[in-house]
Structure formats: structure tokens, C-alpha cells
Structure 1
């Protein structure tokens, strides 16, 4: 019975939608600007402006700007300060909608200087405009300041940082933080909230080159949205239905883009066309950027399906506020189009355009963005560490004050007893002194134990942060590798990334251990070998690796040099020891430490070292690094070339 009722309501909804559409076609579409002009009070005009579903449905943003300027001038003539500021907020939003982010930012900052004259709701609107401006201007450090200010005002909406990670291209960090911060806030029965959550998760996963997983997330989002739209117990307003249709278009666009990346172009094309048609009705800058993105994917799908004229028509369209990366993609698609129709001169022209844009990006944007990221992360860690230290100091001061007060009270008791009980002074004093000492010892022991626990936790947190920062450096090196054409530079960056990972692994093992003073080397070496294999042997390998370090523990001062030495030796074996066939390849690693004396040995049965190794050691970064690290361990590296392959060994203390 419930299923038939749901079908009945669905049919009524579509009849209503068809009737509304027919009325819109038969009559003139209602102008939001006309409604704005017919309203008398500035506060009511403000509500019409920001609450309209599509304020640019009939009149352009320039029409709105001219109208708002007239009202602003009139309010300034009558010295109506409140009205003037409301019109300035609307003017800042229109500049933002037009893509004139600098003008919008200047105006919004002037308004924030007078924020005390606004209530929190108006301040939120201004901060939202500034937030979007800084995002489009790629001033992510300023964007974080805006969100911190929102938190101080008690505004909890849109104050996370996952979208900033996404803008920087760190999509894995973005979806991890999004899942951590947003998922716990969504109720199990909130179908619409779950649809939005899985949509964003799917988009982040697709951007992180995980199209199959992203497709699963986006299909989940579509399922939750269908539940929301078909739930007859929910009374949806016109605005709710419009937003749901926009979300459905975003989901369809995301699913289609996954299909394009998976080579399923025929499935993607109708979804992209439908998504573009709906998203064009939105006034949101993000949705208009999505229209551009979906159009480029649609052109790509048509090119792959040999529908050249359709693809060219899409690529020749004029897009508002197209980003630099989207421009690069459009140029690439135009070059591919001309390649397919054998107009190689035109194709070469578009390839050259992209080279100039990418060179400019490499010089002007990439370094700035990465510096901002490092600064943001460093500042965050510094602030958190300082807060923890300040809090610990306050706790220690409170404990000291409490102990001092107790001492003063006990001393007063003793003085009173001495003056009132002279006959029992010696015995009572000795007895009470003993009790006091035991209590003080117990309290001090408790304080020391708590302090040790806090210090261990803080030390683990520091190692964790160091590991995260080293991983961030590794991510930055990966980003730089993608923007580098020189093979030598790429090799150097990859080697640098491998060394950073070796150090990060040390700190990871430390904060995972109960004992923070030493590292168990057998597990560390196994993890390090797996890390190096993932770089040089992506598809698997046949080299047999034997690790004999069971029960050996080293402190961090020795573990880091050992990690870097092993990283260099294993990397060299993978790269050079087995150039033709690794079927019978063997690597043996032996590490022992008895008391103050230790022994390390590394052997492989590869082709061995070349004859000019001694000469190369002065120019080879790897060999020089190994020698310096061995010297740091107050030892000397020995090389045995008489065995099959090569053998390195040294003693250390």
C-alpha cells in the first residue's frame, strides 16, 4: 500500500512540475531584480537578493550592479549608514559573481573594519564573500584567517580546511580530513546530508586518481538522494527541490567524469549533457566552474567517439571565469582535435600555448602555493605545540600554589600544637612530620608519574607531527616531480623523496612504540625495504631478501643514519645490481649489537661494483652520503669485491 501511495505522490509532483514549467513558458518569467526594486526597505531588499534561487534569471549581474549603485548613492545622500552598508555587502557579492575578486575583497575588508555595527548574521555574509574571494585568488593563508575569525564569532558552518587541501591538489588529505570532520555530524536518517557527503567524497577520490572507488561513492550519493526525493513524509519547498536537482546534476556529472576516465565514453555523454543543462541554472560560481569542467569532459568524450564537430563546437564556446587549469585542458583538447583531422600546424600552436601557460604556472604559482602550504602547516603545528606548553605551565603553577597553601596550613597546625601541647611536643612533632613527609612523597610521586605520562604523550605527538611534516615534504617533492621535465631532476627528486620517507619511517616507529628511546630494527628494516620496493619495483620482483636483525634495538641517533644507509644500498641494488635478470637475485642484511659494540653487513649477488668505483665515489651523491653517515657513526665503510656481487660492512659503537 505504501509503495502505491509513493507512486501517487511522485506522479502528482511531476504533474505540478510540468504545470509550473508550462506557466513559465506561457507567461513572462518573473524577474528577481523587479521584485528587488518593488521592495521598499533596504533590509527587505537584502533578503530578496541573498534568498533568491536565481537572481540572474532575467537580468545580468551588470544590471544588478547598476541598480545597487543607484540605491547606494541615494542612501549616502540621506546619510543612512545602515542602508549604505547593506548595499555595499550586496555590491561585494555581485563583484564576486562577476569574477572581479580584487574589487570584492577591498570592499568586503572595508566592511569588516566596521563589523561592530553589524550583527553576526551580516558578518557571516561578509566573511563568506571574503572566503570565496581568497579561494579564487589562491590566497589560502588569508582564507584560513577568515575561517578562524568565523570560529571566534561562533559560526560553525564552512570552517574546516579540507577544501583548501583540495585546491592545493592534496586530494588524499582533503578526503581524509573531510571524512574525519563531517561524517560524525550527519545523522543516519539524514538522506540529503549523506548524499552531499558521498558526493564530495566521490569527487575527492576521482581527483586522487581512484575513479572506480569514486564511482561507488557517487552511486551511493545518488541512492541517498533518490530516497530523499521519494520520501513523502518530507515537505520540500521550491528552494529544497531546486537545490536537490542541482545536487543530482553534480552527482551525474561526477559519475560521467569517472566513466570518461575509465574509457566508457558512450555512457558518459548523456549524463554530462544532462548535468550541464541543469547546472547552468545555478548562480553559484562553483556550479558555473563545474559547467566548464563538465563541458571539457564532454568534448573529450566526443573526441574519443570520433564526433569531431560536436567536440569542436563545445571547445569554441565562450566560458566565463575559466580557470588556468581548465584553459590548459581546453588547449590540449583543441590540439588533439587538430591532430585527429591532420591539421598539425594548428595542433602545434595549441601545444605551444600550453607550454607557455605551464611555464608561467611553474614560475609564479606553484612555488607560492607550496610555500603557503608549508607556512600554514608550520604555523598550525607551532600554535598547537605552544598551546600545549602553556597549558602544562599553568597546570604546574596550580600544583605549586596548592602545595604551598597546604604547607602553610600544616605549618600553622604544627605551631598551634607546639604552643598548646608542650608536654607532647617531641612525640607529636615527630609523628606529624612523618605523616607529612609520607604525604608529600606520595603527592610528588603522583605528580612525577603524571608528568612522565604527559611527557611521553607529548613526545609521541612530536614524533607523529615530524612524521606528518616529512610526509608533507614527500608530497611536495611528488608535486614538483610532476611539473619537471628533466629526467635527471626527476631522478634526483625521487631519490630525495625516498630519503625523506626513510626518516619519516623512523619517527613513525617511535610514536608507535611503548619505549620511545629505541627502535626495533627488524620491523623497521622490513618496512623500509617495502617502501623502497614500491618506488623501484612497482609491479613486484623476484629478489630474495634476508634480514637478520631480530632483537636488535638502536636509539634514534643511530637509527636515522642506518635507515639512510640502507635506503641508499637497497636502492642501488634495485637500480644497478640486476640489470638483465633478477630471478636468482639475493640481498642479505645483517645487524647485531652486543653491549657497546655493533656490526653491520650488507651483501648482494649482483654484477658487483664497476672498476672506477673509487673515482665515482667523489662524484656520486649516494656513495658520498653513505661514507658521511658511516663517519657519523664513528666508523669506516669497508667494501669487499672478491665475493660474488658486493659486500659492505663496518663496526660501530
Structure 2
């Protein structure tokens, strides 16, 4: 719609010189979809998505759906139920943004069926989305239920119904309730809030056909939003700037619609065109009911001014109309256009469409509205009664407490004197005893601290000595290698030496750490890979190695078998995967830990496994060793052959 609408606007500007308002198009923000994909965790992606106002700046909502669907499937494979829920809420929000409210409600309702498993922040976003969906679908009784649940969760202290009243046609009552609730809450220096306040009042008046009063409020709102935008004393975030631009676009559109109601079409057109342009620039990729209404108002203005071709161009725009009133208005304008053109067949066709729509609305809408109004009023009465009963109970309880307190006060004075003396004696005794206990505690604490320091020193010394002993074993293997002529024996000794170094490196990391119970795996893997790489670089290998294990820590019982497995894999890649000194050789090492569960993946893009590699692998000492080590981690080694390279992976506890 945005591209086609832009073409129509350019055409209109060329026909009506001086009516259009030129606007400089600011460069778009960085690609939001790429930034979303680059977030490291699902929580970061979830927070980034809902904090980004103009997220469809470079990619459409359908591109976002494809990307989120991919993340969802990956989470399903990993059986990460929390990640699945977060991605599904993002999908529901995207469906809402593009105007597919039924899909959005279906996803959101399914998520809320497991509300006992959701945290408060997640519930708040989910209930807000359901509230907005039911408003667009005109299911106001369901909207009331959602707001009731929000209050029960403590997400809002007071439930307001003025917007629902307005949707049901009670615009004056809605305006009175809105003013009563919001007039005192907007600060004098909150220019954005004041603009929003006067725009809302103007909306209710415009819907109530009080056009001149509505225009006065919209003019005030426009003044406040311009002050907000030009206020250099406070730094605004990108989100606040976009929200300010959107509100200004909506206010311009409302002023234009006022002029249309007053039949001042030459004044209405510039405001409507500016409004559409502003909304489209700051609401990229989202369905906008305000923009749709402004397009129809523009079509009506040009039609009433006998600019039939321009009016037809606006009517032909493929708008995503969700309200029956908008569809009826568009059909009326088409009928009026074909009447002006003398095409009475098409005129009759569009009039018949409206007759069918209005017949359907007359049958269902009035009874549904009555039911929904009754439900809202009943809800309000129920809440008022509940509050009154609670207040009466509270007052009665207070009176009863005061009477009981007066009866007990006399007795308490006498008793309190006795207990004061006893208490004073007890305090003296307790004070003397506490001094003695504090001395004992201080002495015991000093002994414990010294013991812990001594224990840490001993553990570090043990790990240091184990590392030195393993280093000595490695040196003995090196001496043995120099005295051996058999190539097979030399390779076996070198492999043994590499494995010993992998274990020695574990103990070295332990005695260098402040925490002797765990090893930080990112640094350990880097050291291990550098150790292996230093040996094989002599052969001319130039391989790019990527390590992704940031923040993962393992205890020594899991770190030693893991280090030996990784040593085997890296050594095999250097020895066999790149026989021709491949320039673009790549190795990828991925280690993640989520609670008690871990996942390890190792890939290279070398020559891969040969046809008979499975038979040889079963007899290979390296593969047999890795299988046993993986068994120690209570898992099974998986090997995937691909068109380029090989992939080893396993889950562990």
C-alpha cells in the first residue's frame, strides 16, 4: 500500500502545486531485522523486538515472520519451551501489526491458556495485545474481561471504559469519563501528554459531530506536539521521536477530517496528504486505521471538488480495511463516482454491496452492542458494589478494633509496667550474653577463614604439582619420540603427548583461577586450540577457527573428558581434513550450557569422511577414545557427513 500511495501522492502534488507540503525524508535507522538476529539470546531478541518502534524499516513484516518462524523451529528442536513462547508472542504481535487480528488472537489465546507458567512481564505484553486485538475486532465484552484480569494481576489499579463506550457509540459519556480520569494526571510541562489529551477529546467530539469544538481541541494538540518536537532542553530517544511524529501525523489527519465535515475541502486536502505521508514514514510495515480513513477522506474531498480521476486513484488503493464503517464509506464513494461518470450499472453494484452489509449489521450489531453495553455496565456495577462492601467491612473492622483497644488499654498499662521491668532485666542479660557470643563467633570466623585460605592454597598447590607431573610425562614422551624410528610409534607418542597436554592445561587453569571448582571454557578451548595449532602450523596449515563458548563453565569431572575429545577432533582436522593446505579452511567449535543441560558441536569444511570411514572409525583408537569419553558425559557421539566437511555433536548433562 505504501508504494502505491506514494505514487498517487506524487501525482497529486504535480496537479495541485502549492497544496502539498514537502517533507525531507530522513535516513532510516539501522536494519532492525539484522540487529534482531544478532542478539545473543532469546531474551535479548524478545526485549529488542518490543522496544523497537520502527522495526519494519528495511524488511517487511512477512520477512520478520519467516525469521521468527526459523527461530521457533530451532527452539522446538532444542525443546526450549520458554523460547518457543517468547517467539510465538512476537509472531502474534507481527500478525497484529499487519492487520491479521484473528491469527493474532488465536496465537495469544493459546499462549494465555498456560498463564500459570508465564512471568508477569510476559503476561502484561500478552494481555495488552489481546486487549488491542479485541478492540479492533469489536469484541468489547471480551475486552472488559481482559482488563479485569490485568487488574487482578496488579498491572493497573483502575479499569477505564471510556474507549469502549466510544466504540459502542456513546461518545459524550466516553469524553466525560476520559476528562475526569486524565485531566489532573497530565503535567503542565508534559507537552506530548497534553497533545495526546486534547487529540483524544477532539476525537470524541468529532465522532459526536461537534466539528468546530473538535477542531479547537485538535489545534491545541497540534501546538503542543510542535512544542514537544522543538523542545531542545530534553534529549529524546529514537522511540520518542517516532511516537511524536506519529501523533503529529494523526492530529493533522483529524484536522483534515474536521474540514471535510465542514465542506472546506481545499483546506482539508493538505492536512490529509501530510498526515498520510507522516504516518507511512513512521509506521512502516504496520496496518494503520488512521491512514486508511485519511485516504477515504481525500477521495471524498477530490470527488466533491469534481476531481474525478484523482478521487478514483485514491479509491483504487488496496487498503486493508478492518472496520465495516470504512468498507461502507468506500462503497458509497465508489457509487458516487460512478454516478458522476454516468455508469449506473457499477453505481448500483456498490449500492447493493452496502445494502447487504447494512442489513447484516442491523440484524446483529444492535443486539450485540446492547449485550456488550449491558456486560460493561454490569461489570462496573459489580465492581462498585464490591468496592463499597470492602469499604464497609474495613470501616466495621476498624471500629471493632478501636473498641477492643480501649478495653484492653487499661489492662495493658499495668501489665506493661511488669513486663517493662522483666524486659529490662532480660535485655541486660541478653546484652552480656551477646557480647560473649560475638567474641566466640569472631574467633570461630577467624579460624574458618584461615582454614579456607589454607585449603585453597593446598588445592592450588596440588593442581600445580599435577600439572608439573603431567608436563614431565609430556617431556618423557618427547624424549622417547626422539629415540624412536618407527613412524607409527612416533605418531602414537605424539598423540599421547597431546592428550597429556590437554589434561595438564585443565590443572593449569584450575590453579590460576580464583574459583577452584570450575573452569571457564572459552579461555581453556582457546589455549588448547593454540597448543594444537602451534604443532601443525609447521606443516603450512592456515585455518580459520571460530570458538563460541563465552560464559560456559564446567567442573573438572566434565572438563577433562571434554578437553580430550576436543583435542582429538582438532588434531584430526589438522592431520586429515585439509591435505592440500586449503586456504579457506574453517573450524567451528560451539559449546552451550543451559542449567544442567549442555550442547557441544564441532564442524570443519575439510574433505569429510571417506566411504569406508565408518568401518575404519570403529577400529580407530581416536574414535573409540572419544566414544568412551562421551559415555563418561552420559551422552552419545553423533557424526553427520555433509557435502563439505564433517560435523560431530552431542548433548551432555
Per the shorter chain, which TM-score range?
Answer: 0.5 to 0.7
Does structure 2 conserve the Cα–Cα contact (< 8 Å) formed by 1:138 and 1:369? no
In structure 2, the partner of 1:62 is 62
After superposition, give the CA deviation of every residue in 1:285-331 in whole Å (9 maximum; x if it has no partner).
Answer: 99711111001111111011110111011111111243211000001
1:605-616 aligned within 5 A = none
Task: Work out the CA distance in 1 between the residues paired with 2:408 and 2:125.
Answer: 56
Q: CA deviation at 1:111?
A: 2.4
In structure 2, the partner of 1:71 is 71
Q: CA deviation at 1:116?
A: 4.3
In structure 1, the partner of 2:270 is 270
1:364-379 aligned within 5 A = 364-379=364-379
Instruction: Give the 3-state SS of the residue equivalent to 2:281 in structure 1.
Output: coil
Task: Work out the CA distance in 1 between the residues paired with 2:182 and 2:366.
Answer: 29
1:526-537 aligned within 5 A = none
Instruction: Give the 3-state SS of the residue equivalent to 2:354 in structure 1.
Output: helix
Q: Which moved more, 1:380-389 or 1:360-369?
A: 380-389
In structure 1, the partner of 2:354 is 354
Question: CA distance change for structure 1 residues 179 and 401 in 2, over 3 Å: closer, same or farther?
Answer: closer
Question: CA distance change for structure 1 residues 250 and 45 in 2, over 3 Å: closer, same or farther?
Answer: same
Does structure 2 conserve the Cα–Cα contact (< 8 Å) formed by 1:147 and 1:158? no
Does structure 1 conserve the Cα–Cα contact (< 8 Å) formed by 2:68 and 2:91? yes
Question: CA distance change for structure 1 residues 196 and 273 in 2, over 3 Å: closer, same or farther?
Answer: same
Task: Work out the CA distance in 1 between the residues paired with 2:381 and 2:371.
Answer: 15
Task: Work out the CA distance in 1 between the residues paired with 2:394 and 2:247.
Answer: 49
Instruction: Give the 3-state SS of the residue equivalent to 1:184 in structure 2.
Output: coil
Task: Work out the CA distance in 1 between the residues paired with 2:245 and 2:393.
Answer: 54
In structure 1, the partner of 2:84 is 84
Question: CA distance change for structure 1 residues 283 and 157 in 2, over 3 Å: closer, same or farther?
Answer: farther
Task: Work out the CA distance in 1 between the residues paired with 2:65 and 2:264.
Answer: 44
Does structure 1 conserve the Cα–Cα contact (< 8 Å) formed by 2:246 and 2:283? no
Q: CA deviation at 1:359?
A: 0.5
Q: CA deviation at 1:394?
A: 5.9
Does structure 2 conserve the Cα–Cα contact (< 8 Å) formed by 1:54 and 1:281? no
After superposition, give the CA deviation of every residue in 1:227-265 in whole Å (9 maximum; x if it has no partner).
Answer: 222222121233222221111111110001000101100
In structure 1, the partner of 2:170 is 170
Instruction: Give the 3-state SS of the residue equivalent to 1:59 in structure 2.
Output: coil
Task: Work out the CA distance in 2 between the residues paired with 1:370 and 1:285.
Answer: 36
Task: Work out the CA distance in 2 between the residues paired with 1:285 and 1:133.
Answer: 17
Instruction: Give the 3-state SS of the residue equivalent to 1:280 in structure 2.
Output: helix
Q: CA deviation at 1:188?
A: 0.9
Indicate whether 1:255 and 2:255 are aligned: yes
In structure 1, the partner of 2:125 is 125
Does structure 2 conserve the Cα–Cα contact (< 8 Å) formed by 1:265 and 1:301? yes
In structure 2, the partner of 1:414 is none
Task: Work out the CA distance in 2 between the residues paired with 1:141 and 1:270.
Answer: 39
Question: CA distance change for structure 1 residues 281 and 370 in 2, over 3 Å: closer, same or farther?
Answer: farther
Question: CA distance change for structure 1 residues 238 and 336 in 2, over 3 Å: closer, same or farther?
Answer: same
Q: Which moved more, 1:289-298 or 1:275-284?
A: 275-284
1:199-210 aligned within 5 A = 199-210=199-210
Q: CA deviation at 1:144?
A: 1.5
Task: Work out the CA distance in 2 between the residues paired with 1:406 and 1:196.
Answer: 53
Indicate whether 1:290 and 2:287 are aligned: no
1:130-529 aligned within 5 A = 130-156=130-156, 159-283=159-283, 288-389=288-389, 391-392=391-392, 395-396=395-396, 399=399
Task: Work out the CA distance in 2 between the residues paired with 1:339 and 1:321.
Answer: 23
Does structure 2 conserve the Cα–Cα contact (< 8 Å) formed by 1:292 and 1:322? no
Question: CA distance change for structure 1 residues 280 and 159 in 2, over 3 Å: closer, same or farther?
Answer: farther
Q: CA deviation at 1:40?
A: 2.4
Does structure 1 conserve the Cα–Cα contact (< 8 Å) formed by 2:166 and 2:204? yes
Question: CA distance change for structure 1 residues 286 and 74 in 2, over 3 Å: closer, same or farther?
Answer: closer
- Computed over aligned residues only, the root mean square deviation of the Cα atoms, in angstroms, reads 2.9
Question: CA distance change for structure 1 residues 34 and 394 in 2, over 3 Å: closer, same or farther?
Answer: closer
Instruction: Give the 3-state SS of the residue equivalent to 1:320 in structure 2.
Output: coil
Question: CA distance change for structure 1 residues 225 and 398 in 2, over 3 Å: closer, same or farther?
Answer: closer
Does structure 2 conserve the Cα–Cα contact (< 8 Å) formed by 1:49 and 1:90? yes
Q: Which runs of 5+ in 2 are unaligned?
A: 1-22, 411-653
After superposition, give the CA deviation of every residue in 1:408-439 in whole Å (9 maximum; x if it has no partner).
Answer: 999xxxxxxxxxxxxxxxxxxxxxxxxxxxxx
Does structure 1 conserve the Cα–Cα contact (< 8 Å) formed by 2:321 and 2:327? no
Instruction: Give the 3-state SS of the residue equivalent to 1:185 in structure 2.
Output: coil
Question: CA distance change for structure 1 residues 157 and 199 in 2, over 3 Å: closer, same or farther?
Answer: farther
Q: CA deviation at 1:94?
A: 1.7
Question: CA distance change for structure 1 residues 286 and 77 in 2, over 3 Å: closer, same or farther?
Answer: closer
After superposition, give the CA deviation of every residue in 1:622-651 in whole Å (9 maximum; x if it has no partner).
Answer: xxxxxxxxxxxxxxxxxxxxxxxxxxxxxx
Question: CA distance change for structure 1 residues 112 and 339 in 2, over 3 Å: closer, same or farther?
Answer: same
Question: CA distance change for structure 1 residues 185 and 72 in 2, over 3 Å: closer, same or farther?
Answer: same
Q: CA deviation at 1:398?
A: 6.2
Task: Work out the CA distance in 1 between the residues paired with 2:293 and 2:165.
Answer: 19
Instruction: Give the 3-state SS of the residue equivalent to 1:227 in structure 2.
Output: helix
Instruction: Give the 3-state SS of the residue equivalent to 1:266 in structure 2.
Output: helix
Task: Work out the CA distance in 1 between the residues paired with 2:149 and 2:46.
Answer: 23
Q: CA deviation at 1:150?
A: 2.1
Question: CA distance change for structure 1 residues 197 and 160 in 2, over 3 Å: closer, same or farther?
Answer: same
In structure 2, the partner of 1:617 is none
Task: Work out the CA distance in 1 between the residues paired with 2:341 and 2:218.
Answer: 36
In structure 2, the partner of 1:531 is none
Question: CA distance change for structure 1 residues 305 and 41 in 2, over 3 Å: closer, same or farther?
Answer: same
TM-score when scaled to structure 1?
A: 0.56
TM-score when scaled to structure 2?
A: 0.56
Structure of greater Rg: 2
Does structure 2 conserve the Cα–Cα contact (< 8 Å) formed by 1:256 and 1:268? yes
Does structure 2 conserve the Cα–Cα contact (< 8 Å) formed by 1:279 and 1:287? no
Question: CA distance change for structure 1 residues 78 and 385 in 2, over 3 Å: closer, same or farther?
Answer: same
Task: Work out the CA distance in 2 between the residues paired with 1:64 and 1:157.
Answer: 35
- The higher relative CO (CA closer than 8 Å, separation ≥ 6) is in 2
Equivalent residues, number: 391
